[in-house]
Structure 1
Amino acid sequence: GRWPHILPLAYTIQALFLITLRFFIYKRKSWHYFVYDLCYFVNVLTLLYIWVFPSSKILFTVCYTLSHGPLSFAIVLWRNSLVFHSLDKVTSLFIHMYPPLTLFTLRWLLPLDLQRKDYPAIVHIGSSLHMKTAVFYTVVFYLIWQVLYYAFIIYGRREKVDRGLRATSYTWLLADKDGFVARLIQKFGFGGPNDGINRYKIVFYFFLQFGYMLLSILPVCLWYYRNM
Structure 2
Amino acid sequence: MSKSLADNSYQIDKECLIDENEDVITSISMSTESDYFQEKKVEFSATDDKTGFVSFLWKNHIPEKIVFVLAVANLFVWAFGLCVVPWILPYYYTICAPILLALRIRWYLGPVKWHLFMLDFCYIANITCMVYLWAFPNNEHLFHMVFAMGNGPLLWAVALYRNSLVLHSLDKMTSIFIYLLPAYVTFGVRWYPELAGQHWYTIFLQQHTGPDLVWLVATPLALFVAHSMLYVFIIYIIVRPSDEYLDSYRYFTSDENSIQYKLANLFGPRMRLVVYYTVCYFMCTCMLLLTWMWYQYFVAHVVFLAIVFVGPNVERR
- Superposition TM-score, scaled by structure 1 size: 0.84
What is the aligned partner in structure 2 of residue 189 from structure 1? 267
Aligned partner of 2:280 in structure 1 is 209
Q: For 1:74 and 1:145, locate their aligned partners in 2 and report how far apart those are by CA, in whole Å.
A: 17
**Mapping for residues 44-123 of structure 1, pairs under 5 Å:** 44-111=127-194, 114=197, 118=202, 120=204, 122-123=205-206
Asked whether 1:227 is paired with 2:297, we answer yes
Structure 2 vs 1, CA of residues 130 and 60 (structure 1 numbering), >3 Å: closer, same or farther?
same
In the superposition, relative to structure 1, how do residues 152 and 51 fare at CA in structure 2: closer, same or farther (>3 Å)?
Answer: farther
C-alpha separation between the residues in 2 aligned to 1:77 and 1:128?
30
What is the one-letter code of the residue matched to 1:206? Y
| Structure 2, unpaired ranges of 5+ | 1-82, 299-317
Give the corresponding residue for 1:150. 232
SS at match of 2:166: coil
Q: Assess if the C-alpha contact under 8 Å between 1:39 and 1:71 holds in 2.
A: yes
Residues 178 and 48 (structure 1), Cα distance of their counterparts in 2 relative to 1, 3 Å cut:
farther
Structure 1 residue aligned with 2:223: 141
Letter in structure 2 aligned against 1:211: F
Q: CA deviation at 1:147?
A: 3.0
Residue 82 of structure 1 aligns to a residue whose secondary structure is: coil
Q: Which secondary structure does the structure 1 equivalent of 2:152 belong to? A: helix
Does the CA contact (< 8 Å) of 2:155 and 2:179 recur in 1?
A: yes
The structure that is helix-richer by fraction is 1
Q: Residues 145-179 of structure 1, C-alpha deviation per residue, up to 9 Å, x if partnerless?
A: 22332233233321x2xx22422111221222343
Flag the 1:133–1:81 CA change in 2: closer, same or farther, 3 A. Answer: closer
Change (3 A) 1:56 1:152: farther
Partner of 1:172: 251
Count matched residues.
Answer: 214
User: Cα gap change, 1:59/1:147 in structure 2, threshold over 3 Å: closer, same or farther?
Assistant: farther
CA drift of 1:2 comes to 2.7
RMSD, matched Cα: 2.2
Contact 1:127 1:226 (C-alpha < 8 Å) held by counterparts: no
- Alpha carbons 1:67, 1:100 under 8 Å: kept: yes
Q: Say if 2:85 and 2:195, in contact at 8 Å, map to a contact too.
A: no
Provide the TM-score with structure 2 as the length reference. 0.62
Question: How far did residue 137 of structure 1 move?
Answer: 1.5
Kindly state the Cα deviation for residue 56 of structure 1 after the two structures are TM-superposed: 2.8
The structure, 1 or 2, with the larger RCO (C-alpha pairs under 8 Å, 6+ apart) is 1
Q: CA deviation at 1:132?
A: 4.0
> Counterpart in 2 of 1:194?
none
* CA distance 1:84–1:133, shift in 2 (3 Å): closer
State the structure with more CA Rg.
2
Q: 1:83 to 1:131 in 2, by over 3 A?
A: same
Contact 1:58 1:137 in 2 (8 A): no
Distance 1:142 1:88, change over 3 A: same
